[in-house]
Amino acid sequence: MSARTLPLLFLNLGGEMLYILDQRLRAQSIPGEKARKDEWTDVDRKRVMNDIITTMFNKKFMEELFKPQELYSKKALRTVYDRLAHASIMRLNQASMDKLYDLMTMAFKYQVLLCPRPKDILLVTFNHLDAIKDFVRDSPGILNQVDETFRQLIETYGSLSVGEFQLIRQTLLVFFQDMHIRVSIFLKDKVQNSNGRFVLPISGPVPWGTEVPGLIRMFNRNGDEVKRTEFTSDGNYVAPQREGSFDLYGDRILKLGTNMYSISRPVETHTSGSAKNSASHAKENIVPNPLAKEELNFLARLLGGLEVKNPGGSEAGFRLNLFTTDEEEEHAALTRPEELSYNVINIEATQEPGRRAELSRILGELEVAEPRPASAGKGEDLLALMDEL
C-alpha cells in the first residue's frame, strides 16, 4: 500500500462531489426575485460552493492530509465527506448523502480504471482542481487556497517514479474493488454492465511514451534488431499527440476528471443492486475494525481545523434533494437495507492539546447515535453527520 494515496483520493472524490452539487443546485435554483424563503437561488448556490471549497482547501486541513499515511476504511472517509457536505447552509438527508457518495466513488473508480498510465492519475486530479478553480474564479482568496494545493501536489508527486505511481494506482483499485454500484449515466453510455462492473475499451490512445500495438521486434544477444513481425490487433489504437501538462496551468490533454455533468443530464443512481453488493456492504459494517481507534484519531486530526456552519437565528438550513422528487428520496430512505446505514458518531475534536487528550481517553467509550428519521419537508431536514465535532 502507498502512503501517498490519501490526498489524491480525497481531492478527486471531493471534485466529483462538487460537480454533482453544482449540477443539482443549478437544477433546483429559482430566480432570486421569485424564490420563497425556503427555495434555492443562484446566490445560495455560489455561497454553498464557496463555503465547501473554502473548507475543503483549508490550509491546516491540507497540511494534515498531505502527511504520509495509510488509507483508512470507507466508513472513516465517508465521515469526512459527510462533514464537508454540511460545511455550509445546505443539508442532505441520509438517502441523498448515500446517493451523493455512491456517485462520487463510482465516477472516480471509472477514471482510475481508464487511466492510460499510473502517472495520469495526477492529470485526473489536476482536471478536478482546474474545474474547482472555475467554480471560485470570482473569489481570489479561495482561488489562492486551491492554487496552494496545486503547488503541494506538484511538489509532492512531481518527482515520484513510475513504480510509485503504480503502487498508488493499485492502492486505489484495492479501495474500490468491492464497489459495484450502478449509475444511470454509465448504464446509458454502455460503459457499465447491469451488475455494476465497468466495460473497459480496447481502442483509443495508447499511453504516452508507448507505441501502437502491431509490431514485434526481435533482437540478438548484442542488442541489434534482427527481425520484425507485424500483426493485426483487435483494437483501433492511436498514438497520443503530446503529453498532458503537469504544470500549474496548461492543457491536460486527458479528459478524465472533467465535469461530466456540465451537459444537462439527470443525476441518477441505482443502488438496489444485487444481493452480492449488499452483502459486501454489510460485511464491511459488521466486521470489527482493529484500526478503529487509529481511524478516529485520524478523523479528529483531519477534522479538527474544519468548521461546520450550523444555521442559527432566523436563517434556516436549505435541503438539497439528489432525487427527482421528494417521494423518490423518501422511498430510497425507507427501502435502503438497514446494514447500509451510517450511524452518527459524536466526537469532540478541537486543536487544543487538552481536548485531544480528552478525545484519546474517551475513544473506547464513544456513544453511537441512532440515525435520525428522514424528513421530506422543505428546509426541515437538518441531518448533519458529526455536526458536533
pLDDT tens column, 158-213: 999 999 999 999 999 999 998 999 998 899 989 999 999 999 888 888 888 888 89
C-alpha dist (Å) from residue 207 to 154, 244, 245, 323 = 21, 11, 14, 38
User: Are the beta carbons of 71 and 1 closer than 8 angstroms?
Assistant: yes
Chain mean pLDDT for the chain: 76
Q: Once rounded to an integer, what is the mean pLDDT over residues 306-310?
A: 50
Residue 64 to residue 301: CA distance in whole angstroms:
7
User: Are the beta carbons of 186 and 268 closer than 8 angstroms?
Assistant: no
The 10s digit of each residue's pLDDT in 215-225 is: 999 999 999 99
User: Are the beta carbons of 142 and 49 closer than 8 angstroms?
Assistant: no
315 or 122: whose pLDDT is higher? 122
Q: Where are the alpha helices (DSSP H) in the chain?
A: 6-28, 42-56, 59-65, 74-85, 94-114, 120-135, 140-157, 162-176, 184-188, 275-286, 292-303, 326-335, 353-362
What integer pLDDT is reported at residue 94 of this predicted model?
85
22 in a structural domain: yes
**Cα three-residue angle 295-304-68, rounded to 5 degrees:** 55
Residue 383 to residue 86: CA distance in whole angstroms:
9
pTM, two decimals, is: 0.73
The 10s digit of each residue's pLDDT in 152-161 is: 999 999 999 9
286 in a structural domain: no
| Phi/psi at 251 (5° precision) | -85, 115
Residue 114 to residue 203: CA distance in whole angstroms:
11
131 or 277: whose pLDDT is higher? 131
What integer pLDDT is reported at residue 123 of this predicted model?
96
pLDDT of residue 33 exceeding 50 = yes
| Phi/psi at 277 (5° precision) | -65, -45
314 or 160: whose pLDDT is higher? 160
Residue 210 to residue 208: CA distance in whole angstroms:
6
296 or 4: whose pLDDT is higher? 4
117 or 375: whose pLDDT is higher? 117
381 in a structural domain: no
Cell of 300: 479528529
In which domain, by residue range, is 124 found?
Answer: 5-202+246-263+294-345
Cell of 355: 481536548
C-alpha dist (Å) from residue 283 to 174, 176, 219, 369 = 16, 15, 52, 21
237 in a structural domain: no
210 in a structural domain: no
Residue 91 to residue 381: CA distance in whole angstroms:
7
275 or 321: whose pLDDT is higher? 321
What integer pLDDT is reported at residue 374 of this predicted model?
35
User: Are the beta carbons of 117 and 3 closer than 8 angstroms?
Assistant: no
pLDDT band (50, 70, 90) for residue 76: confident
pLDDT of residue 317 exceeding 70 = no
**What string of DSSP letters covers 279-292?**
HHHHHHHHS--TTH
User: Pairing between strand 269-270 and 182-183?
Assistant: antiparallel
pLDDT band (50, 70, 90) for residue 27: confident
| Of 23-37, 98-112, 330-344, 374-388, the least confident | 374-388
373 in a structural domain: no
Residue 282 to residue 355: CA distance in whole angstroms:
33
Based on the structure, what is the number of domains in the chain? 1
**Cα three-residue angle 9-14-18, rounded to 5 degrees:** 155
Q: Kindly report the number of other CB atoms within 10 A of residue 199's CB atom.
A: 11
Closest CA to 93 of 345, 340, 343, 383: 383
At 164, the amino acid letter reads E
Residue 127 three-state SS: helix
Beta bridge partners of 369: 344
278 in a structural domain: no
Residue 212 three-state SS: coil
357 in a structural domain: no
Q: Once rounded to an integer, what is the mean pLDDT over residues 291-314?
A: 52
